[in-house]
């Protein structure tokens, strides 16, 4: 990757890449234990990541100097014949890369089910480039028929006894230079792996530019849910009108709304399902205290350590009745509060929408406001936190 930091610890949206991978595995309730093979010098850093981001069911094993030696050490942490083993031996073990954070439960279940039946299974993907073999003088010797070959990916799954026996029997050469676990199961345990076609999201973060691709994918994923928070249940209120405009402008995003009292007491009801974008319309009509109550409840939900949370405070007023400069001066506290909550991974902005009495003009202003909201939600730029924007 060309960076000093081991790539699994590279930061994406202020969070190490491996934390996203652990979260993907943790979401799967039937995975009993997760063992991370980590080098001795990074052991403390890994413990800090587990604690900071609230990861559960995690055990650490000391990594070896090669991929296969690291995997073998991880398997030993689950093996009954090892004196330091503290975890129950599983029926099936999944082997996965720390830098493949987008693994979903569906492919995990498919490889595990196949492993239970065949003894071993692995995800594969079509080759995107033709594989060629060069001769000793650097010229083309031959090429492979791309249609007949596949790229081996992760996750892979094995009956535990199959893969552990393979590692116990394999040679030092295999441990030093080998890369393919499925081949070890075939060579030493005589188990032919079932190959399972995997989704495109299984790609591995390998090069520096992959970090930007990963960040883009994560932003896209967490921007799919927007919660519009209003302080009235009246269907004709500005908050509900804005919600309908957002639905039309962002037709691929799931937009929900909830009514909220001024005490902030109802917030927990809609923080149950993870959402990282909140559009608060007139919730803070009287000012700072109501906003602080909302943000405290948000902080208690423990959402922000995982992903940056966008909060847009929307005020609607008729600019012909209330001068814009006067209203902006009254909302300058948003900037100071934004600096405070930014340290907690909450990106706070203010948005003023001209509540025109002209229906056509109002709809145009709401559409402009929706475009601004969409940009804030999708970009999640900390540089824009604290800005007072006008539609």
> Is residue 179 over pLDDT 50?
yes
Same domain, 248 and 345: yes
**Residues 260 and 355 occupy one common structural domain:** yes
Residues 228 and 269 in one domain: yes
Q: What pLDDT is attached to residue 261? A: 54
Helix (H) or strand (E) holding 298, with range, is helix 288-300
* Same domain? 291 vs 356: yes
Contact 242, 279 (CB under 8 A): yes
pTM of the model: 0.87
The residue assigned the tokens 């012909």 is 320
Q: What angle do CA 368, 371, 377 make, to 5 degrees?
A: 145
| Among candidate residues 189, 217, 245, the one where a domain is terminated | 217
Flag whether 138 is in a domain. no
Residue 144 lies in a domain: no
Q: What is the dihedral of CA 236, 240, 244, 245, to 10 degrees?
A: 100
d(CA 143, CA 302): 52
- Secondary structure element (H or E) that encloses residue 336, with its range: helix 333-342
d(CA 373, CA 389): 10
Indicate the DSSP class of residue 54.
T
Are 171 and 280 in the same domain? no
Mean pLDDT of 102-117: 97
In the predicted model, what is the mean pLDDT of the chain?
A: 89
Report DSSP state, residue 143.
E
Instruction: Establish if 142 belongs to a structural domain.
Output: no
Q: Quick check: is 78 in a domain?
A: yes
Least confident of 24-33, 57-66, 138-147, 186-195: 138-147
pLDDT of 291: 85
For residue 384 the two structure tokens come to 């824009």
**Do 163 and 237 reside in the same domain of the chain?**
no
| 200 within a domain of the structure (yes/no) | yes
Q: Residue 265 has what pLDDT?
A: 47
CATH code of the domain in which 110 resides: 3.90.550.10
Cα(83)–Cα(70) distance, integer angstroms: 18
Phi, psi angles (nearest 5°) of residue 44: -70, -40
Condensed to tens digits (0 to 9), the pLDDT of residues 189-229 reads: 999 999 999 998 888 999 999 999 999 999 999 998 898 88
Is pLDDT at 283 greater than 70 in this prediction? no
Last residue of a domain, one of 217, 244, 263: 217
Boundary (domain end) residue, out of 217, 238, 256: 217
Picking from 37-46, 69-78, 162-171, 267-276, which range would have the lowest pLDDT averaged per residue? Answer: 267-276
Show the domain range for 284.
223-390
Statement to judge: residues 212 and 328 lie in one domain: no
Q: What is the CATH number of the domain that holds 284?
A: 3.40.50.720
Model pLDDT for residues 291-321, shown as the tens digit of each residue: 888 888 888 887 888 899 999 999 888 888 8
Q: Is residue 357 part of a domain?
A: yes
Placement of tokens 């847009």 in the chain: 312
Same domain, 210 and 233: no
Residues 203 and 243 reside in one and the same domain: no
Q: Among 117-126, 127-136, 160-169, which stretch is predicted with the lowest mean pLDDT?
A: 127-136
Number of domains in the chain: 2
Q: 240 and 163, same structural domain?
A: no
* Pair (284, 188) in one structural domain: no
pLDDT of residue 264: 47
The reply to whether 78 and 193 lie within a common domain is yes
Alpha-carbon span 138 to 129, nearest angstrom = 19
């Amino acid at each position: 990757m060309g960076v000093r930091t081991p790539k699994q610890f590279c930061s994406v949206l202020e969070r190490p890449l491996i934390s996203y991978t652990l979260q993907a595995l943790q979401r799967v309730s039937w995975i009993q234990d997760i063992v991370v093979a980590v080098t001795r010098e990074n052991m403390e850093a890994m413990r800090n990541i587990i604690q900071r981001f609230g990861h559960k069911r995690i055990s650490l094993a000391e990594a070896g100097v090669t991929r296969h030696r690291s995997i073998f050490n991880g398997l030993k942490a689950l093996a009954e014949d090892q004196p330091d083993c503290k975890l129950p031996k599983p029926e099936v073990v999944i082997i996965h890369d720390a830098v493949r954070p987008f693994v979903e439960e569906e492919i995990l279940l498919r490889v595990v089910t196949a492993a239970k039946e065949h003894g071993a299974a692995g995800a594969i993907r079509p080759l995107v480039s033709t594989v060629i073999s060069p001769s000793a003088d650097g010229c083309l010797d031959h090429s492979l028929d791309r249609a007949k070959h596949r790229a081996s990916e992760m996750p892979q799954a094995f009956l535990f006894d199959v893969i552990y026996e393979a590692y116990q029997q394999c040679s030092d050469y295999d441990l030093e230079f080998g890369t393919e676990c499925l081949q070890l199961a075939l060579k030493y345990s005589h188990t032919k792996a079932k190959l399972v076609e995997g989704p495109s999201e299984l790609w591995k973060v390998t090069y520096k530019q992959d970090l930007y691709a990963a960040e883009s994918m994560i932003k896209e994923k967490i921007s799919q849910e927007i919660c519009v928070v209003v302080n009235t249940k009246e269907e004709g209120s500005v908050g509900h009108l804005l919600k309908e405009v957002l639905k039309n402008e962002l037709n691929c995003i799931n937009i929900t709304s909830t009514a909220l009292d001024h005490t902030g007491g109802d917030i927990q009801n809609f923080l149950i399902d993870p959402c990282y974008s909140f559009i608060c319309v007139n919730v803070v009509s009287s000012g700072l205290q109501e906003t602080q109550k909302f943000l405290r409840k948000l902080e208690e939900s423990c959402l922000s350590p995982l992903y940056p949370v966008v909060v847009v405070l929307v005020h609607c007023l008729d600019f012909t009745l209330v001068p814009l400069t006067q209203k902006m001066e009254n909302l300058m506290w948003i900037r100071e509060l934004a600096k405070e909550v930014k340290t907690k991974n909450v990106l706070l902005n203010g948005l003023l929408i001209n509540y025109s009495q002209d229906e056509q003009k109002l709809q145009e202003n709401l559409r402009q406001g929706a475009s601004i909201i969409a940009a804030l939600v999708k970009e999640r730029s900390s540089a824009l936190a604290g800005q007072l924007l006008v539609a």
